[in-house]
Amino acid sequence: MDAVSEESLRRALAEKQSAIDAQGNAVRALKASKADKSELQGAIDALNALKLGKSSLEKKLQAAVTGGGPAAEGALTREAFRQAVGNTLERRLFYIPSFKIYGGVAGLYDYGPPGCAVKSNVLSFWRQHFVLEENMLEVDCPCVTPEEVLKASGHVDKFTDLMVKDEKTGDCHRADHLLKDFCNEKLQKDLTITAEKSQELKHVLAMLDDFSSEELGAKIKEYGITAPDTKNPLSDPYPFNLMFQTSIGPSGLIPGYMRPETAQGIFVNFKDLYYYNGNKLPFAAAQIGQAFRNEVKLLPSDAKISPRQGLLRVREFTLAEIEHFVDPEDKSHPKYLEVENLEFLMFPREEQMSGQSAKTIRLGDAVSKGIVNNETLGYFIGRVYLFLTRLGIDKERLRFRQHLANEMAHYAADCWDAEIECSYGWIECVGIADRSAYDLRAHTEKSKVALVASEKFAEPKEVEKLVITPVKKELGLAFKKRQKNIVEALEAMNEKEAMEMKSSLESKGEVEFFVCTLDKYETIKKNMVSISKEKRKEHQRVFTPSVIEPSFGIGRIIYCLFEHCFYTRPSKAGDEQLNVFRFPPLVAPIKCTVFPLVQNQKYEVVATAISRSLTAAGISHKIDVTGTSIGKRYARTDELGVPFAITVDSTTSVTVRERDSKDQIRVNVEELAAVMRSVTEGQTTWTDVWSRFPHHSAGSTNESED
Ligand code: AMP
């Protein structure tokens, strides 16, 4: 249900309420005037009809705001669906709360055996789809990172969340989360709020990331928000750094942090990687690894083991990041044509600001109209779309949302998030940002190692070059110890800033100049710097590359995949609902199971031989020789998302059952491993296989065995 219909429902509800009030008054007036019985009854009937209408509108509005919509009637509610998926995931050990026997720790989860297998499949597909496809340079850097690296990247000073404290208990909460919960709760549960109020709350939700500490504090006060459990008053917001701090070595003298992202390891290696790549641009480096963020509060509860929402916001998670280095003057991409015709849901800035919803856009149009900043960024958006949908993410519940201008870091040229809709709403799973030259410049400045690229000219070129020469003697006399900061700031001016300073110095003799590293203005006089433009012959152009960064939260993608693949279907007898994960073979934790139909040595020997041939073909599988009915064994593997079940019911041929259609074919034992390999590796589809092999009618080997 979109925003427009929600709004019209709220208006209709308000109108219905006024009509009820008016009709109520009319009934009372008729009663008071002892009106004719039939006239009174007519008025009461009209009142009841209006009330009925109101109740139906309320239901529709409730469905609209909780995201179900009328189409979802009869289907599992979001809550029940989430419960069903979560229970299955925990029961089948996809996830285990870490350190469970000690009570667990919120925000830390283990992947159990099938979870581990899915993760490993997702990562190996990631390597194939990105690293192999683009010849990326993969690196593997330490998690423990010295402070100076993260100081240069800005994380030490800026990687913070705004917190508020319960003024009585001292308990901490994320300020933006409290405001977000308040707005969502009002929008979803309070059907009496006006359409205008609903617009205001939605606006607050849209602007949440942009609020300053003061603005957040003011909204919390305005709405009277208190601490969630205790209802105590809250402090003003204050910043909390999310990095886990440590020190390197026994002396404790080298401060460090657990890395909050993997990207910095790539940036600091730029010089060597550029050399390794033959000093050529563009090229991309990639890294898969753990990232650590001391997330403040894992809503909605402070329980030691957090509720399952914790699977989306955890304190240690796997990131897969790409840093694609490109010439800032040429952001075209040689393979862009391969993705430009893709069409999918995009949610550009304009649409968000004007309250519209995401719409299907051809990627090529978004790039040519300038909605997406450049071809390389567009190329990666397209590749991310293909990656996620091939994994099994539902394309109807995947959208690319552009960051609002003030949601983006100041240095970024453009930024899009791949958001996947699950029972918790739209979740940011991949961030794709054009970070311009920010990171390499920051590390160049701090490390004093030039992280730059160069383009050799075929013929030397005459170029006009800006020359800024600080007069150190004068600056030293005037600013003493601050001289170094001022020299650096003067030298870092771009052409526009320098030429403005030159003309001010010429007209006024001095100028007020802001020095970032001192965080204040200083007066620069004419004799302290000379600024000119000189013509020079240059043989090359030296520049800091821009970087385009797709950053994948692997755990979030996997959780959303679990939800998108989960469904229930009635058992043969119709007496229970059976759980199924419809994983594509690519990500399924186990590709097939092998069951002897009955416990019989003859069949077990064949099953063992099949197992050996599957192992040799590199196909993960599981033998189940338990005497349990075949139907129960099918149900067990469906719940693990195993796509194919092989039942040994003869010594020469076996049946292969596909999980979702439950269709079965008969295949000779010698051919089996090759067939399973081609269908699980995606060289053939089940439809192809179904047309090539004799069909086996469900009978002795289906759920009727239950
Ligand atoms: P960011 O660097 O904040 O843009 O994060 C990059 C990606 O990491 C996001 O798109 C998320 O998918 C994922 N991510 C960020 N924080 C967490 C977290 N606390 N738990 C799990 N995944 C996260």
Residue 415 beta carbon below 6 angstroms from any ligand 1 atom: no
**Same-domain pairing of 538 and 605:** no
Taking residues 291-303, report their average pLDDT. 66
Quick check: is 664 in a domain?
A: yes
CA–CA separation, 562 and 565 (whole Å): 5
- Which of 33, 66, 99 terminates a domain? The answer is 66
Tokens of 48: 């009841």
Kindly indicate the confidence band of residue 297, based on its pLDDT and cuts at 50, 70 and 90.
low
Taking residues 46-61, report their average pLDDT. 86
**308 has a pLDDT exceeding 50:** no
pLDDT for 543? 96
DSSP, collapsed to helix, strand or coil, labels residue 651 as: coil
Quick check: is 90 in a domain?
A: no
Q: What is the 3-state secondary structure (H, E, C) of 152-179?
A: HCCHHHHCEEEEEEECCCCCEEEHHHHH
Which residues 6+ apart lie within 8 Å of 631 measured at CB? 571, 572, 702, 703, 704, 705, 706
CA–CA separation, 29 and 36 (whole Å): 12
For 340, 437, 455, 503, the CA distances from 277, given in Å and listed in that order, are 27, 19, 14, 43
The full length of the chain comes to 706
**Same-domain pairing of 594 and 695:** yes
**300 has a pLDDT exceeding 60:** no
The alpha carbon of 553 and the centre of ligand 1 are apart by a number of angstroms equal to 5
pLDDT for 453? 97
pLDDT for 572? 83
**Same-domain pairing of 606 and 537:** no
The alpha carbon of 312 and the centre of ligand 1 are apart by a number of angstroms equal to 9
Domain region containing 20: 3-66
* C-beta separation of 695 from 664 below 8 A: yes
CA–CA separation, 292 and 318 (whole Å): 9
Q: Assign residue 693 the CATH number of its domain.
A: 3.40.50.800
Neighbours of 458 (CB within 10 A): 6
**Same-domain pairing of 619 and 689:** yes
CA–CA separation, 562 and 585 (whole Å): 14
Burial-class residue 391 by CB neighbours within 10 Å (0-12, 13-18, 19+): buried
Quick check: is 462 in a domain?
A: yes
**413 has a pLDDT exceeding 70:** yes
Least confident segment among 83-87, 358-362, 583-587 = 83-87
- Which of 66, 86, 102 terminates a domain? The answer is 66
The alpha carbon of 382 and the centre of ligand 1 are apart by a number of angstroms equal to 20
Residue 261 beta carbon below 6 angstroms from any ligand 1 atom: yes
pLDDT for 437? 94
pLDDT for 699? 53
For 10, 206, 545, the CA distances from 191, given in Å and listed in that order, are 8, 21, 52
**Same-domain pairing of 596 and 690:** yes
- End-to-end, the C-alpha distance of the chain in Å comes to 41
Taking residues 487-498, report their average pLDDT. 90
Q: Where are the beta strands (DSSP E) in 471-528?
A: 510-515, 520-525
pLDDT tens per residue, range 105-138: 889 999 999 999 999 999 999 999 999 999 999 9
Quick check: is 233 in a domain?
A: no
Q: Assign residue 513 the CATH number of its domain.
A: 3.30.720.200
**Same-domain pairing of 626 and 685:** yes
pLDDT for 380? 98
Residue 553 beta carbon below 6 angstroms from any ligand 1 atom: yes
Residue 551 beta carbon below 6 angstroms from any ligand 1 atom: yes
The alpha carbon of 124 and the centre of ligand 1 are apart by a number of angstroms equal to 20
**74 has a pLDDT exceeding 60:** no
- Higher model confidence: residue 43 or residue 554? 554
The alpha carbon of 244 and the centre of ligand 1 are apart by a number of angstroms equal to 16
pLDDT for 703? 45
Shortest-distance Cα residue to atom 15 of ligand 1: 553
Kindly indicate the confidence band of residue 346, based on its pLDDT and cuts at 50, 70 and 90.
very high
**186 has a pLDDT exceeding 70:** yes
Q: Helices 78-91 and 554-565 sit at what angle, rounded to 10 degrees? A: 110
Q: Output phi, psi for 567, to 5 deg.
A: -150, 170
**Same-domain pairing of 605 and 694:** yes
**305 has a pLDDT exceeding 50:** no
**490 has a pLDDT exceeding 50:** yes
Placement of tokens 């240059």 in the chain = 538
Q: Closest by alpha carbon to 387, among 559, 684, 586, 580?
A: 586
- Higher model confidence: residue 370 or residue 4? 370
Q: What's the one-letter identity of residue 368?
A: S
Residue 310 beta carbon below 6 angstroms from any ligand 1 atom: no
CA–CA separation, 81 and 285 (whole Å): 39
**Same-domain pairing of 619 and 680:** yes
Q: Annotate 267-296 with b (16+ C-beta within 10 A) or e (fewer).
A: bbbbbebbeebeeebbbbbbbbbebbbbbb
| Number of domains observed in the structure of the chain | 3
Quick check: is 434 in a domain?
A: no
- Which of 22, 45, 66 terminates a domain? The answer is 66
Residue 209 beta carbon below 6 angstroms from any ligand 1 atom: no
The alpha carbon of 175 and the centre of ligand 1 are apart by a number of angstroms equal to 19
For residue 664, the surrounding DSSP H or E stretch is: strand 664-668
- Looking at the chain, the number of H-run helices and the number of E-run strands are 23, 28
Quick check: is 38 in a domain?
A: yes
For residue 359, the surrounding DSSP H or E stretch is: strand 359-362
pLDDT for 700? 45
**Same-domain pairing of 687 and 626:** yes
The residue whose CB lies within 8 Å of the most ligand 1 atoms, and thus the one to mutate among 309, 313, 408, is: 313
- Dihedral sign of CA atoms 352, 224, 314, 246 in order: positive
The alpha carbon of 270 and the centre of ligand 1 are apart by a number of angstroms equal to 23
Quick check: is 595 in a domain?
A: yes
**Same-domain pairing of 539 and 629:** no
**Same-domain pairing of 598 and 523:** no
Shortest-distance Cα residue to atom 13 of ligand 1: 553
Quick check: is 623 in a domain?
A: yes
Taking residues 241-252, report their average pLDDT. 93
**301 has a pLDDT exceeding 90:** no
The alpha carbon of 689 and the centre of ligand 1 are apart by a number of angstroms equal to 40
DSSP, collapsed to helix, strand or coil, labels residue 399 as: strand
Residue 97 beta carbon below 6 angstroms from any ligand 1 atom: no
